[in-house]
Each structure stands twice: as C-alpha cells, then as structure tokens.
Amino acid sequence: MAAKLSADLFFTPALRARMGRYTLFLAIASFLVHLGLYGFYHYVLGQDPAGLLSNPINAIYTPFSFLLVYEAYLLLYYLQHSTTIYVGKQYEIIVLILIRGVFKDMTHLDLSGGNLFSINNLELWYDLGAVMVLFALILLFYRVSGRQSIQPSALPDHPGQDSKMRRFINSKKNLSGILFFMALGLGIYALGDWLYGLRGAGDLVVTPNVNAIFFDHFFTLLILGDVLILLFSLFYTDDFPVIIRNSSFVISTILLKLSFGAESGIAQVFIVAGVGFGVVMSAITTRYLKTRE
C-alpha cells in the first residue's frame, strides 16, 4: 500500500508533466530576474558587485539550477520503473552540473596573452573535455544496457511477473518515496542554511557553491539508494552478473560523490572514472548474459 501511495501521489505521469512545465517557467523567470538584477546593479546603481552579478553570463547559471532540481525528481521518478534509467539519470545530472560549471568558468577566463593554461583557463578545458567524454559514455551506457527509450509508456509492471519480481518493484517504489521526502527535507535545510550563512556574511551576491548546498548530500542519499537496491535484488535473484552489475553501480555513485570534494582536474577524473566504470560493467554484464542464452 505504501508503494501504491507513493506512486499515485508523487510519481504519476501527469505530475511529472506539470512539474516539467513549472520548472521551465521558473527557469525562464529566474533567467530574466537574474539579468534584471545585473542591469540594476551595473546600470542603475553604478556598482560592480562580485559573484553571481559580476557578469551577465552568470545569469545562465540560475535556470540550470532549476533544471537540475527537476532532473533530481526525474531520477526518483524512474527509480520505481528501471534501475538502468535511475543510474543513467545520475550520470545525466553530473553532466548538467559540469555544463552549469562551464558557464561560470567562462566568466573567470584569463584572456591576456600567455595565460592559455592558467588555473582559471584549465578549469574550463577540464570541464569541456569531461562533458564531451561523458556525453559519449552515457550514449554507450543506454546502448549496452538495451535502453533506447525512457518513455513512461515503456515502463509499466507486467501481470506475468513472478511474485519475487513484483516485491522487488514494490520495494523500489517504496524506496523512491522515502528518498523523495529525504531529498525534499535536505533541500529545504540546505537552502535555509545557505541563506542564513549569507545573512551572517552580509553579502547576498557572492557566488554560492550550489553543488555543496544540495547535490553533494543528494549523492550521499543515492549511495544509500544504490546499496538498498542491491540488497533488494538479492530477494529475487542470485544471478552472479546481475549482482556484480548492481554492485558496480554502488561503486560508480561513490566515485561521483567523491568528485564534489576534489579539486578541479581530479574531480573530472573521478567523474569520468565513475561513469566509465558503470558503462564497462554494464557492457560486460550484457555480454555475460547473452553467452548463456
């Protein structure tokens, strides 16, 4: 019953579509407000603030933050349908975080001669390279996993499923609901804590470390989710390749989580390694299963 309540209230296709529209409206509005604040500070007040209002390119940073929150919701939405899509959404969120960081990198470039490989410029090259590699890896991940589409119509429960599989699906539905409330509480607490810190500092325009505000802790929740999925899967199968694949997803998420606390350059290595490990292990699992058909 808890699984049905979770699916009916928070993860319906209709709610997903509404949240997508609301997120789009918020993203557009936040972009225009950010640009307006930039113009107000620079052209009306004649000030030159640092941080988020230092450059109009930073305005792109704001709508991407709303899109990332929506992607986090989609990750939990698809968890109850497919572990593969759930993991793939983790990888997509990481790529969007890197793309959002690229816009910030562009406002800190050293454009004078002889500074092509300065610290600020290298951070941009690292992020651009990682985005290209990860985009290709995500494509490979869905292909080797046999997923060509993530349309909701392709993901319903089948009446012919055995009782063990149905219990596993219900466990994932329950888990998605629990993670939803935990992520919601974490987001509210983290945002409040950040705003309180800004109030104490007396500066509301400094560039926030948005990753530290929410996604660093969010990926900690995802590690917990990956471990529970691995344990739940043991109730319906003891197939060696499936266990290894689910275990590799735990390792992959841990590597992604470690990237949030690493320096630029090392962080991108952790991210590429985490996604690459998941792709390779999924490919090996698919090949392993085909050899037994």
Q: For the segment 169-204, what is each residue's pLDDT rounded down to a tens digit?
A: 888 888 888 899 998 888 888 777 766 655 554 444
Q: pLDDT over 70 for what percent of the chain? A: 82
CB distance 187 to 214 below 8 Å: yes
Evaluated on CA atoms 158, 18, 222, 256, the torsion sign reads positive
Distant-in-sequence, close-in-space partners of 161: CB < 8 Å, separation ≥ 6: 169
* Rounded-to-integer distance, Cα 197 and Cα 195, Å: 5
Average pLDDT score over the chain:
82
Q: For the segment 36-93, what is each residue's pLDDT rounded down to a tens digit?
A: 888 888 888 877 776 677 778 888 888 888 899 899 999 999 998 888 999 999 999 9
* Rounded-to-integer distance, Cα 185 and Cα 272, Å: 30
Q: Taking each helix axis from N to C terminus, what angle separates 216-233 and 240-259, rounded to the nearest 10 degrees?
A: 170
* Rounded-to-integer distance, Cα 141 and Cα 139, Å: 5
- Kindly report the pTM of this predicted structure: 0.86
Least confident among 134-148, 187-201, 231-245, 253-267? 187-201
**Maximum average pLDDT range among 99-103, 132-136, 237-241, 285-289:** 132-136
Task: Find, among 146, 148, 149, 145, the residue nearest to 281 by Cα.
Answer: 145
CB distance 61 to 107 below 8 Å: no
Q: Calculate the alpha carbon distances from 122 to 115, 127, 137, 217, 260 in Å.
A: 10, 9, 22, 27, 18
Residue with the bigger pLDDT between 120 and 231: it is 231
